[in-house]
Chain A
Amino acid sequence: MRLLPFKFSLIVAFVLVITFLTGGFLFLFSEGDDSYPRLIPDQTMAVFVGPKPLKEFVLIDQNSDTFDLSSLKGKWSFLFFGFTHCPDICPSTLVSLSKLREQITKGINGTKNVQFVFISVDPKRDTVITLKQYTNYFDPSIIGVTGTELELRNLTQQLDAKFEVESAPDKNSYQVYHTSAVFLINPQGQYTALLTPPFDISPISRRFTILKKIDAIKSLP
């Protein structure tokens, strides 16, 4: 009888894997810069077969506290890169992330160990105060983060994310080009999945639940 929970978890793992494979998910190789094999469920969430462990980075959060690799440990993290002078993509994405947070954290079975992080790649204009006001408007639980260009590049390169600051004559009015995707990091600090717009909340939420269960099974001693 004492073996039952273990057997049960094996059965759950088996069922989950089958669900994953029959749910229209295909093994595909990405055409992007990285050569990871990906699981691509209809463009909603690309899940890496082997999550990529992240290396050390040092950023600062909206409360002027350090935000580094250890800030990602023990929690699922959804990371989004942008800037506050961004009128179109960033607000839409933050609204989507806020809805996603509501969906995956609600109820007694809701995920508690999850965080949503907005990382400004425009540290020149986005101070920690600006960031805090900005994220608070969309959802006070979203954490605003920024840092030096060097450290921002350190993290974006690990995720194959990109950003580019336009060189404009006007010091205060320039564009910042940035990756529009959202990056999912697992509680071990490993880059696990890539979400691309338009962010369709319900399927993302369902896939996240599956990922979480698989991760929990993998983490069993």
Chain B
Amino acid sequence: MSFSSAQMNAAESKINVSHAWVKEAPPNAEALAGYMDLQNQTLQTQTLLRASSADFKSVMLHQTVTKGGMAHMNHTPLIEIKAGSTLQLTPGGYHLMLMNPKKPLRQGDQVQITLEFQSGLVFPVIFRVSKAPPK
């Protein structure tokens, strides 16, 4: 896995981001989902408050919750990662909801999404567009 300068930056800030990917969607899709692993190497809980990207009209933190067999996709105000733990954003759970991509995204394309944490940490992450999760 190649590390962009953004991810190096993240590693230095002690929040390590890996497996950052956007699920390729049908050409006319208006909503895509972004996933990643957030490894909190600090001693405090880290709280992801916002994500933004110039490549989409809007980015929201979302969580798919299944209640009584019904999938609810909820907007979540924040995502907490406990000290020393890794939180995975994976299909069927937490994800970044990416609305209206500015250009069609195909497998192999890359988009940059900036993550903002409550602690003041702000850094961009490169997400690779892919049909399936990265190995």
The reply to whether A88 and B92 contact each other, CB–CB distance below 8 Å, is yes
When each residue 22-41 of chain B gets 1 if its CB lies under 8 Å from chain A and 0 otherwise, what string results? 01011111111100000000
A87 on the B face (CB < 8 A): yes
A86 on the B face (CB < 8 A): yes
The reply to whether A162 and B69 contact each other, CB–CB distance below 8 Å, is yes
Q: Which residue of B lies closest to A137 (CB)?
A: B26
The reply to whether B92 and A177 contact each other, CB–CB distance below 8 Å, is no
The reply to whether B28 and A133 contact each other, CB–CB distance below 8 Å, is yes
Write the nearest CB–CB distance from B108 to chain A, whole angstroms. 16
A138 on the B face (CB < 8 A): yes
* B32 surroundings in chain A (CB, below 8 A): 87
Q: How large is the interface on A (under 10, 10 to 19, 20 to 34, 35 or more residues)?
A: 20 to 34
CA distance A180 to B95 in the complex (A): 17
* A209 surroundings in chain B (CB, below 8 A): none
The reply to whether A177 and B69 contact each other, CB–CB distance below 8 Å, is no
Write the nearest CB–CB distance from A184 to chain B, whole angstroms. 15
A105 on the B face (CB < 8 A): no
When each residue 79-107 of chain A gets 1 if its CB lies under 8 Å from chain B and 0 otherwise, what string results? 00000111111011001000000000000
The reply to whether B92 and A133 contact each other, CB–CB distance below 8 Å, is no
Identify A196's interface contact among B23, B33, B69, CB under 8 A.
B69
CA distance A178 to B72 in the complex (A): 7
The reply to whether B70 and A177 contact each other, CB–CB distance below 8 Å, is yes
CA distance A92 to B71 in the complex (A): 13
B114 on the A face (CB < 8 A): no
Q: Given that A92-B91, A162-B70 are contacting pairs, would A87 and B31 also be in contact in the complex, using a CB cutoff of 8 Å?
A: yes
Write the nearest CB–CB distance from B62 to chain A, whole angstroms. 7
CA distance A166 to B54 in the complex (A): 27
Write the nearest CB–CB distance from A113 to chain B, whole angstroms. 27
The reply to whether A89 and B92 contact each other, CB–CB distance below 8 Å, is yes
CA distance A76 to B92 in the complex (A): 27
Write the nearest CB–CB distance from A89 to chain B, whole angstroms. 5
25 A-B residue pairs with CB within 8 Å: A84-B26, A84-B29, A87-B97, A87-B98, A88-B33, A88-B62, A88-B92, A88-B97, A89-B91, A91-B33, A92-B91, A95-B132, A133-B26, A134-B28, A137-B25, A162-B70, A164-B70, A173-B99, A177-B70, A177-B73, A179-B70, A180-B71, A181-B69, A197-B92, A198-B92
The 3 A-B residue pairs whose C-beta atoms are closest, nearest first, are A137-B26, A87-B33, A180-B71
Q: A87-B33, A88-B91, A89-B92 are in contact. List 15 more A-B contacts (CB 8 A).
A: A32-B69, A84-B26, A84-B29, A88-B64, A88-B73, A91-B33, A92-B91, A95-B131, A133-B28, A134-B28, A177-B70, A177-B72, A177-B73, A178-B71, A180-B69
Which residues of A are at the interface with B, using a C-beta cutoff of 8 A? 32, 84-89, 91-92, 95, 130, 133-134, 136-138, 162-164, 173, 175, 177-181, 196-198
